[in-house]
Structure 1
């Protein structure tokens, strides 16, 4: 079965047709689920759509045209635009592809920004008034506690660490049971860029990592409140309490993590191990906020 994952956006663009109506566009690109995969080699497909033709049938047929052009079909299609959920889900399911609401559309987000700067302004009918960089906001949600079945009986331990970006060149050689990554060349990093991360040590490392692998991992974020914590954001709207920060020292350490994450253009990682001396990972996910 194909392990290929695509990313999709279907929305109006700042380009008007001959009737002065906004044109819509489907953008489809391959997810770079490999630390070594060059973004330049990713499959991409773009097609404009009249505003009067916007429906799940047109979108399904566009996906089928992309499949024909690629010569292969994806197993899943990620999408970030919540307001298009019903149409995208129906189009995907009608052709047997799993739709995946996700904050992990890194290649697609970068491509959209590039088209806003370099493509749409040169199109006939470009409308400067409606041209803007898409800003997708995710409202804060109340985090959910991790399921008891994946937590250690005596509680899990954790540590915040960091690695230079160059260390990920050897990620293919690491012993990892469950993982997901992307090419760091997608983001503005150098070999010396410091990538911060969280390692969770748990006697139930494998069940925890297996459970996390079933989530569409988004990013890790500090929440400062009366009960400060590090939240794991997944899918488009789920939030989990991964680490409770029970004293000022922990909060300060988490603040340093957030600062390092910002300097790394949002790139960070979450890992799961049985113990600090372990040479293998039950799970490892490279993430970007």
Structure 2
């Protein structure tokens, strides 16, 4: 499997000599494994004059990044939907698929670090934050009938258990180093396991959606909502008993104690030792 990159292209809190916002492209490699060395992940940053903000400039920057990295990624994730057309066009012209996604964990931390340590040192720095990237979310969709799990259950694992994750038999999935999210080895990581005789098709479908997080929602009844992409979401389960609702509340409490980290696993049965799918997730606000 090749690398996955995360990309942001947006204005920064810096003004040039003409009092115009300076733009910047940030590109970084995703951490795809619990044992990934985040210090060795590829990074690329370049400022862009406001007069050159277009897909041509961005494509050229992408080509420079690929040359610097030595190879192109298999895909690029980005979270700013308002930049969708420009980013997708530049990536397509560079021959790289682009995917709107909230799974930009390395990029989010890098942006925060630059907001605190880099931009304030630049000439023309203007305090304050950039406009919010929050977009109107559509209502959660119902899972296709053929993809609903037959059973599911809340579970938890010790953070230290994930050290062996690279040795687990997993068909579809993705992870990241827990220390990246400041999770101690003693912490408990909550999650759910979904069991289905169609485990492999279910896991393949979930993988294609680019999983972001799982949350307990009470806006329209007690439900488990699976967040995917940038704004999409799915009703994973309706909780109809006091016991399940109490377990869902405990899941949310444990998730907060673990800095938003949690997981979703898919297996053919409770007796299976293999995973058709397993995703380590984090619920976090975008920059």
TM-score in same-fold range (> 0.5): yes
SS in structure 2 opposite 1:162?
Answer: strand
Q: Helix, strand or coil for the counterpart of 2:87?
A: helix
* 1:193 equivalenced with 2:187 (yes/no): yes
Q: Deviations over 1:148-192 (max 9, x none)?
A: 22235xxx1111111111111000111111111112222111101
1:266 equivalenced with 2:260 (yes/no): yes
1:164 and 1:212, CA in 2 relative to 1: closer, same or farther beyond 3 A? same
* Unmatched segments (≥5 aa) in structure 1: none
**2:159 is equivalent to residue 165 of structure 1:** yes
Q: TM-score scaled by structure 1?
A: 0.94
- Equivalent-residue separation in structure 1 for 2:58 and 2:82 (angstroms): 15
Q: Deviations over 1:212-244 (max 9, x none)?
A: 121111110111144321011111121111111
The 5 Å alignment of 1:120-139 reads: 120-128=119-127, 131-132=128-129, 135-139=132-136
Aligned partner of 1:282 in structure 2 is 276
Residue in 2 that maps onto 1:92: 91
Q: 2:198 corresponds to which residue?
A: 204
Structure 2: distance between partners of 1:177 and 1:92: 28
Contact in 2 for aligned 1:116/1:133 (Cα 8 Å): no
Which residue number corresponds to residue 39 of structure 1? 38
Secondary structure of the residue aligned to 2:31 is coil
Asked if structure 1 preserves the Cα contact closer than 8 Å seen for 2:137 and 2:232, the reply is no
Alignment RMSD, CA only? 1.4
Instruction: After TM superposition, give the deviation of residue 25 of structure 1 in Å.
Output: 0.3
For residues 226 and 118 of structure 1, the distance between their equivalents in structure 2, rounded to whole angstroms, comes to 42
Query: 5 Å matches for 1:198-277?
Result: 198-277=192-271
Distance 1:173 1:237 in 2: 33
5 Å matches for 1:104-143?
104-128=103-127, 131-132=128-129, 135-143=132-140
Q: How far off is 1:15 after superposition?
A: 1.1
Equivalents in 2 of 1:30, 1:63: separation in Å? 13
C-alpha distance in 2 between matches for 1:237 and 1:132: 22
